[in-house]
Amino acid sequence: MTQAATPPLQRLLVIGNGMASVRFLESLVRLAPDRYAITVVGAEPEPAYNRVLLSALLAQDVTHRDIEMKPREWYAAHGIALRTGARVDRLDTQARIAHLANGDAIPFDLCVLATGSDPIRLPLPGADLPGVMTFRDLSDIAIMDAAILSGQRVAVIGGGLLGIEAAYGIAKRGGSVALVHVMDRLMERQLDVAAAAILRRQLERKGIRVLLNRSTAAVTGETAASGLRFADSSDLEADIVIFAVGIRPSATLARDAGLSVNRGICIDDDMMTNVPGIFAIGECAEHQGTAYGLVEPAYAQADVLAQRLAGREAGFGGMVLSTNLKVSGVPVFSAGDFMGEPGTQSAIMEDRKAGIYRKLVFNGQTLTGCVLVGDADDGLWYLDLIRRRVDIGPMRRTLLHGRDIAQATLPAAA
Amino acid sequence: MAATSPKPPCLQQPEMAQSVRTTCPYCGVGCGVTVTPDGSGGATVKGDEAHPANFGRLCVKGSALGETLSLDGRLLHPMIHGQRSTWTKAVRYVANGLERVIGEHGPGAVAFYLSGQMLTEDYYVANKLAKGFIGTGHVDTNSRLCMASSVAGHRRAFGSDTVPNTYADLEEADLIILVGSNAAWCHPVLFQRMQLARERRGAIIVNIDPRVTATSAGADLQLSVRSGTDSVLFSWLLVCLAARDAMDIAYVENHTSGLDLALEAARNIAPSLEVVAGKTGIESSDISHFVDLFVARQRVVTCYSQGVNQAIQGTDKVNAILNCHLATGRIGRTGCGPLSLTGQPNAMGGREVGGLANMLAAHMGYSVPEIDRVRRFWDAPRMAQGEGLKAVQMFEAIERGEIKALWVMHTNPAVTLPRADAMRAAMAKLDLFVVSEALASTDTSLAGAHVMLPASAWGEKNGTVTNSERRISRQRSFLAPPGETRPDWEHLALVGQKMGFSGFDYTSAADIFREHAALSAFENNGDRDFDLGAVSTLDDDAFDAMQPFQWPWRAGQLPRERFFADGRFYTPDQKARFVAVAEPLPAQRTSRRYPFTLNTGRVRDHWHTMTRTGKATRLARHIAEPFLSVHPDDAAASTLAEGGYVRIESPNGAVTLRVQFDDGLPRGTVFAPFHWTNATSGLARVDSVVHSFTDAVSGQPDLKATPVALAPVAMQSEGFLVSRTRIELPPWIAHARFTVPCGEAIVFASTLKPDALHGVLVNLLGEMPEHARLGDTEAGDFRVIALAAGNLQSALFVGRRRDSMALDWLIEMLPGENLDVSQRKVLLAGRPPSGGVDLGPLVCSCFGVRRAVIENAILGGAVDVDAVGVALKAGTNCGSCRPELKRLIADCASAGVDQVRTA
């Protein structure tokens, strides 16, 4: 330091090196490059990667390089101390020290929890047998690669976004895969019946065996998984069982530290926990009762926190959610109130042969939800209309046909 | 579509072959056309420049004839009770049936209902079979609905059914008076000839019509006469002619009788200008102007049509007009005379043959010597002994069960007769119901025909027709007869032979023509106007080569252009008769219950029941659906909205039509076209509402003055169906269908909500293995696109209001093939990706120019009709749309820029 008078920088510790973490760091170093002495601790052996693209990596639609978010050099170039393969065991919010599993202690002035989420393993008989796994990390890809190559049969439990993407990745590689779902349709939290039916047909066309209304009672097998038994006593043979039944915020560290935790770590609009100076963003956090499991709100939270820590006005007011299924050839997009709450109105367009389904939900003169299957090009435009609560007025009857037509048919003055 | 890509079969144009000169099958103008067949069933059609009726001009209907030749919907085989049969069996069935009815009930239980679209030769054989061999006088024709009052008026005044003048007089006239004629739409080629007189010699055109029509736009003086009171106006004219010494006293004294009584009657009806103005609803100053014009201008042609004829006192109207021409001697002279404009291509031929209930044959009536003369000529075993029943009375006799056997040829009485619902029901009671038809299914054949005989259509038939100026022209065939179709005369001759009658062994139309011509000359020493002696011995080649000529053509003489300038009439004393006409009274007055008067008529691009014009895509879009014109003030008083629907009801029936405002209508009068049938529409068969009162002299029904009630119908849903194949809609849905390239379109409306109507209609589309759909309950939009192998098969759009842009777009896309996903998306959108522009209705059918395009051209500086023509070609072919162009120019000038759409 050439200027001795400069006060020491505030020490900022970021626990977790996932997508929210990187987004936060990017924003912060752009907005306030020299304000903090930043340390990032990540549990995985490598720096943050784009977890959203894991299934694409499995499917070999992308390569390992494609999903890397920032190289180590980037952290160094911005003066960020990156510690990978390091797990924080205990967080002392009073002393402002984080204790690592290897015994190291990292003191901080401010701390951001970006610990993400953990995949849920159903507490079923046999769930601890070898061959039973989840699909969350890069390390899981290696196991699945091996299973595909050795011709093992895979059962994916869970017909949500993650399960579908996992099954798609396996099927794309030529693996044998069954997708088991407890509900009567896939992605029931994002799709209505018609959209889910189209999605199912498209997935079956890609070689995925789809089993609906199957409640898994147990994983069978003596020494290793050999299949599933369902509540209706039917069976499915499988060498690998993947739980893709959901995630839960990774909040144990925060809970143990005495932070207010509900499902996730409770935060306010400034992303602050109940302890001043301790923040949480991303999938580990819970804002106004909602723990988001998607990247977009995580990014929004990261941006808000970065702005706050850069001394700017910002706030997170919650977010209309959208889902974008990234299975090539089966674009699926859903946002907002896609099912249609009582009092709302729906417009539906369907072309089964073309595999296209499109549903818009209106509340008066605003768009409040949408489901797009087969052609999701206009999804983000609809999402924008939903979020901004745009008075769609003259586009009410043409909106369903997409942006081009809806805007082309606006009165000339518009 | 790229120029190199092959067109779908329905849009392909094959190569051309040799041309044939023939005559247009539509109105009574009788234009010559030159047809060049393409060798695969189609043809191109042009006006025949050598034909004296049109000199090469054609209206839009005639120009589109080539589009109407498809065999879609044709009856190709004999049918008995709906089952395909053979000619042998069908002829035996008809012959046996006739013999049985004659045996049980006498020949008076047999009736023939013929058509002004039949050729003269067909007419002749029907008349001979009925009146000479079966022995019934019940032979009438749809001309009864069209021309009967003119015939009766002519006969009362002239002693014969003679049209004294010729079309060429239109170009020689200084004053042309149109009475009850929307010639601009119904006789466009003659209207153009009138406009020529107007431009070239400054002729003044007076249009006398309750409605302001397209014709008014080409007239100098519009007299909006109160419906039915034309004879008051012409009585006043007669009174004025007498008062102002404007009569031709010498002509009146030497060649007429009855003036005093006629004048006395006229003075009673029209005692003063004020009374006349009060009765007719015309401004006094306009009436005086009209009288001044008539007095000042010697060369006057008065053209009259259905507004005169189709009236309870139609014959009196005709005579009120003829009285004025007789009083001034302005008859049968160059540029002077009355000219009845007939609606059908061969109503005149039918009249010449005598195919009317009150005529016997060849302009002979039922006097004892005439019956005997015809009997001898035909060597007939069982002559009808007196006049038969006229159309309406004939069908009423069927209704009462007095007539047991009916043979309908080439006409659709279930649509066009007044009280059409009752008439349709009556036909179902017949013991023998024979229909000779070109089409497989008409409202009349569906009324319960026992036997259907497949008839030749225009282009296949061979023979002659006579136009409104007595000009006989050849209709020549240029297409091979499809299936087992035969010309009408063969139907009749086969049955005649089967019944054992001699004199029906004709081998050609020429054979029949010669016999017809010979009868006209038989014992005719100049005392009968109709005489074709000069052509009674033509050989077949000469008949084939026969050029258009005006009758009479007596042996050894030349054809005669005009009648009566010489003062020789066909009454016993050879003097014309003035007729004392009666005070006009409506057949039925409007009442509190039925406060409006329903007028009926035609639209520009359709003809009759659209069996032919309905096949031409370019004719479909000028006016694609039935409507009711209502004065805006009446509409407001009855809470009718423009574009909304109205139920029109009389004690006879009801229809439901779309409302169109027309401030050219008199208050209290509404207007609807009669073209739409059950085969082409639902709830739109207008004549089911019309009362069946007839003119006491002519028997012509009063089709233009039925008291009706109007009630708004709150349609909950509207929409359209565009389809490659015909799809039947339930008759309780208001709808109309029209032809489009590669298929047809139906527009409809219903009191059901959109989702419910969609539920009904989507079932009609049948199995849809490949389809796209849209549902939007709140907006009320329900759409289905059915495809097969990537080709659009049908598109059903149901909404709260019809989406005209979507209709246009789907019609445009129907011929498209191998549609990809993005194209399918825009089908459901009902819009091109650019969003599209509503171009409004079609104005120029010949060049397919639509209203918004014309409005833009006008805004862009096209200041008159010719300038619009230069810019867009609109109005430069048939000229039918020129009055509308004129009105658009006026509208744009008064409305300014803001009303005009952007294109």
Task: Specify the range with the lowest mean pLDDT, choosing from B13-22, B268-277, B727-736, B873-882.
Answer: B13-22
| pLDDT for residue B6 | 52
pLDDT tens for B730-748 read: 999 999 999 999 999 999 9
pLDDT tens for B219-239 read: 999 999 999 999 999 999 999
| pLDDT for residue B83 | 96
Task: Specify the range with the lowest mean pLDDT, choosing from A12-16, A77-81, A192-196.
Answer: A192-196
| pLDDT for residue B41 | 83
- CA distances (Å), B879 to each of B48, B194, B196, B301, in order? 16, 12, 12, 22
Burial of B341 (0-12, 13-18, 19+ CB in 10 A): buried
Distance from CA of A211 to the nearest CA of B (A): 26
> Is B773 an 8 Å CB contact of chain A?
yes
Residue of B771, B773, B776 to mutate when probing chain A, most A C-beta within 10 A: B776
- CA distances (Å), B592 to each of B186, B634, B709, in order? 34, 14, 9
| pLDDT for residue B1 | 36
Task: Specify the range with the lowest mean pLDDT, choosing from A160-164, B282-286, B698-702.
Answer: A160-164
Interchain contact, B831 vs A401, CB within 8 Å: yes
Interchain contact, A350 vs B825, CB within 8 Å: no
Distance from CA of B745 to the nearest CA of A (A): 22
pLDDT tens for B560-615 read: 999 999 999 999 999 999 999 999 999 999 999 999 999 999 999 999 999 899 99
Average pLDDT, integer, range B86-92: 98
Task: Specify the range with the lowest mean pLDDT, choosing from A394-403, B320-329, B663-672, B878-887.
Answer: B878-887
| C-beta neighbour count of B789 within 10 angstroms | 9
With contacts defined as CB-CB under 8 Å, which chain A residues touch B768? none
With contacts defined as CB-CB under 8 Å, which chain B residues touch A412? 902
Q: Which among B778, B781, B821 has CB closest to A356?
A: B821
Burial A64-80 (b: 16+ CB within 10 A, else e): eeebebbeeebbeebeb
Task: Specify the range with the lowest mean pLDDT, choosing from A188-192, A388-392, B251-255, B370-374.
Answer: A188-192
| C-beta neighbour count of B284 within 10 angstroms | 13
Distance from CA of B608 to the nearest CA of A (A): 39
| pLDDT for residue B16 | 46
| pLDDT for residue B842 | 86
**Any residues with CB less than 8 A from the CB of A81 and at least 6 apart, and which?**
A38, A39, A40, A75
In A199-228, the residues whose Cβ lies within 8 Å of chain B are none
> Is B775 an 8 Å CB contact of chain A?
yes
pLDDT greater than 70 at residue B372: yes
With contacts defined as CB-CB under 8 Å, which chain A residues touch B902? 412
| pLDDT for residue B338 | 98
Prediction ipTM score: 0.75
| pLDDT for residue B452 | 98
pLDDT greater than 50 at residue A412: no
pLDDT greater than 60 at residue B95: yes
- CA distances (Å), B398 to each of B405, B418, B430, in order? 9, 14, 7
Interchain contact, B779 vs A397, CB within 8 Å: yes
Structure tokens that stand for B322 in this block? 């003829």
| pLDDT for residue B767 | 85
With contacts defined as CB-CB under 8 Å, which chain A residues touch B903? none
pLDDT confidence tier of residue B818, bands split at 50, 70 and 90: confident
| pLDDT for residue B840 | 83
With contacts defined as CB-CB under 8 Å, which chain B residues touch A347? 774-776, 778-779, 781
Interchain contact, B776 vs A348, CB within 8 Å: yes
| pLDDT for residue B92 | 98
Distance from CA of A350 to the nearest CA of B (A): 5
The two beta strands, B669-673 and B717-723, are unpaired
Interchain contact, A351 vs B828, CB within 8 Å: yes
pLDDT tens for B437-483 read: 999 999 999 999 999 999 999 999 999 999 999 999 999 999 999 99
How far is Cα A128 from Cα A149, in angstroms, rounded to an integer?
23
> Is A408 an 8 Å CB contact of chain B?
yes
With contacts defined as CB-CB under 8 Å, which chain B residues touch A404? 833
With contacts defined as CB-CB under 8 Å, which chain A residues touch B831? 398, 401, 405, 408-409
What percent of chain B has a predicted confidence (pLDDT) above 70? 97
| DSSP for B581-640, written as a single string | PPPP--SS---SSS-EEEEEE--TT--TTSTTGGG-HHHHTTS-S-EEEE-HHHHHHTTP
Residue A81 CA from chain centroid, whole number: 26
| pLDDT for residue A49 | 94
Distance from CA of B774 to the nearest CA of A (A): 4
Q: Which among A345, A396, A412 has CB closest to B777?
A: A345
| DSSP for B534-556, written as a single string | GGTT--HHHHHHPPPEESP--TT
DSSP annotation of A282 reads G
How far is Cα B803 from Cα A401, in angstroms, rounded to an integer?
15
Structure tokens that stand for B593 in this block? 């219950």
In B796-835, the residues whose Cβ lies within 8 Å of chain A are 821, 824-826, 828-829, 831, 833-835
Size of chain A, expressed as the number of residues it contains: 414
| pLDDT for residue B143 | 93
B12 or B553, which is more confident: B553
With contacts defined as CB-CB under 8 Å, which chain B residues touch A396? 779
Average pLDDT, integer, range A61-82: 93
How far is Cα A229 from Cα A231, in angstroms, rounded to an integer?
7
Of B303, B273, B270, nearest to B286 (Cα)? B273
Residue of B770, B778, B791, B826 to mutate when probing chain A, most A C-beta within 10 A: B778
How far is Cα B696 from Cα B691, in angstroms, rounded to an integer?
15
The pTM of this model reads 0.86
Task: Specify the range with the lowest mean pLDDT, choosing from A349-363, B200-214, B346-360, B507-521.
Answer: A349-363
Mean pLDDT of chain B: 93
Nearest CA in chain A to B834: A408
Q: Which among B779, B828, B835 has CB closest to A408?
A: B835
Interchain contact, A401 vs B779, CB within 8 Å: no
| pLDDT for residue A4 | 52
pLDDT greater than 80 at residue B5: no
Query: CB–CB of B304/B181 below 8 Å?
Result: yes
With contacts defined as CB-CB under 8 Å, which chain B residues touch A400? 774, 776, 829
Burial of B714 (0-12, 13-18, 19+ CB in 10 A): exposed
What percent of chain B has a predicted confidence (pLDDT) above 90? 84
Q: Which amino acid is at B815?
A: P
pLDDT greater than 90 at residue B428: yes
Interchain contact, B828 vs A345, CB within 8 Å: no
pLDDT tens for A204-231 read: 999 999 999 999 999 999 999 999 999 9
> Is A377 an 8 Å CB contact of chain B?
no
Query: CB–CB of A93/A80 below 8 Å?
Result: no
Average pLDDT, integer, range A55-79: 92
Nearest CA in chain A to B788: A353
Residue B799 CA from chain centroid, whole number: 34
Average pLDDT, integer, range B539-560: 95
pLDDT confidence tier of residue A339, bands split at 50, 70 and 90: confident
pLDDT greater than 90 at residue A140: yes
Query: CB–CB of B320/B284 below 8 Å?
Result: no
Q: Report the run of H or E that residue A37 belongs to, with start and end.
A: strand A36-41
Interchain contact, A401 vs B824, CB within 8 Å: no
Interchain contact, A346 vs B826, CB within 8 Å: no
